[in-house]
Chain A
Amino acid sequence: MSGDSFTFTIDGVEVTATPGQTIMEAADAAGIYIPRLCDVEGLRHQGGCRVCTVKASGRSAAACTQPAAPDLVVDNETDHLNTMRRHLVEMLFQEGNHLCPVCEASGNCELQAMAYRLEMVEPFRFPGLEPCRPVDASHPDIALDTNRCISCGRCIRASADVDGKGIFGYVGRGIHRRVAVNGSDLAHTDADINDHAVSRQVCPVGCIIRKREGFSIPIGEREYDHGLIGDEGDSE
């Protein structure tokens, strides 16, 4: 820790940060969990999903991109913020086709786990868009079911920055923005099962599917069957 480290508070707890650290990085280092979907360790921040929204001295900010600052007063676990986060998660469910009972990511899915954490159990208040989206199963080892894509961009950053391939990218704008592959289908790209972009930790949902692995761990014994997302301790 460098000499010019400073402190600020998250929900009243004093946290130490160094210049350049985001609120979320400082929180992680202090063992405080801030909910997130588009941010994941090892990839640059995107600030897209807004599930990590906190109040920083009264102003809403994305904790994954907002730099920590001396004496900042951050609210994280408040009813107001968690209600807003729940609405964001609900919109992600309603924008795609999320049929958890038939999804092989169920139990390992960060979106679903976030819905549990944020207690998404009331009837949906937003209309389901039920889009018709294709499944691309052309690749021998990888399939893409974009019905479940939440446009978090994690695969895009992983493929561009870690694999140096640029297989995934955004197309379209606004609500039509979607993730597409750099080729007529996945089989016509350089995608390889050993790419970081198709590793288990990158896609938070059941969109990027590693073929023949989906049910190696049975439902009921999966990652978030053992506890809430964010409460796993330091094992991840």
Chain B
Amino acid sequence: MSTDRKARIATVSLAGCFGCHMAILDMDERLIDLMARVEFDRSPLNDLKRFTGRCDIGIVEGGCCNEENVHTLQEFRRNCDVLVALGQCAIMGGLPAMRNAIMHSDDPLRDCLDEAYLSSPYTRNLTNTVPNDPVLPLLLDRVYPCSEVVEIDLQIPGCAPSGDIIHDTLIALLDGKFRGFERTELRFD
């Protein structure tokens, strides 16, 4: 990566809880040094909704649970040189992927929606229907890890990943020296 301009980073939260974005902030004061070397393009951190140009690094939190997630992820792939899946949701579906299989059901998505909107004893839903407004993105049959939708260059594990592993990985990428993680740094929780 050239040193005479700042590297451009874009981030997005798909089917995630935003915890991984909070973890980016866990870099704490190291963010100040990082900001001397990078600028953020499209990201919820600056509320930029569209890409303003090609980015060096794209960071994706969360997997794909609906159509919109897929489009967004494909846009990130098109606009970013290095695409990073940040956290277990992006890597393997994470908590949202609980709806894929653990419902003891042949139709887990239907059962999930029924439980949430109709049948749970804690549900108070006056219309007694599952929300179906056309503006709602269409849910996918299951929750997909990012790597099943587009090519992912690098996965940073954790739920959420530590500020340390995010910082060390970004710095190594910016220096063009990423050689993998320290094994003792790996966490899936």
Contact = CB atoms under 8 A, between A and B. Distances in A.
A72 to B, nearest CB: 28
Nearest to B19: A101
B183 A119 contact: yes
B101 to A, nearest CB: 4
Contacts of B106: 132
B22 interface: no
Interface stretch (A8-16, A63-71, A120-128): A120-128
Interface stretch (B37-45, B71-79, B91-99, B124-132): B91-99
Given A99-B95, A101-B95, A121-B155, 20 more contacts: A99-B88, A99-B94, A99-B97, A101-B94, A101-B159, A106-B189, A107-B189, A116-B183, A116-B184, A117-B183, A119-B186, A121-B181, A123-B91, A123-B155, A124-B92, A132-B102, A132-B105, A132-B108, A134-B104, A225-B187
B95 A102 contact: yes
A227 B187 CA distance: 11
B70 interface: no
B189 A219 contact: yes
Interface string A80-108: 00000000000000000101111100110
B157 interface: yes
Nearest to B159: A101
A106 B188 contact: yes
A116 B98 CA distance: 23
A78 to B, nearest CB: 16
Nearest to A127: B148
A115 B187 CA distance: 10
Most buried by B among A97, A103, A132: A132
Contacts of B181: 119, 121
Interface of A: 97, 99-103, 106-107, 112, 115-117, 119, 121-124, 128, 130-132, 134, 147, 219, 225, 227-228
B109 interface: no
Contacts of B92: 99, 124, 128
Contacts of B66: none
A14 B187 CA distance: 34
Most buried by B among A99, A102, A107, A122: A99
A112 B188 contact: yes
Contacts of B102: 97, 132, 147
A33 to B, nearest CB: 14
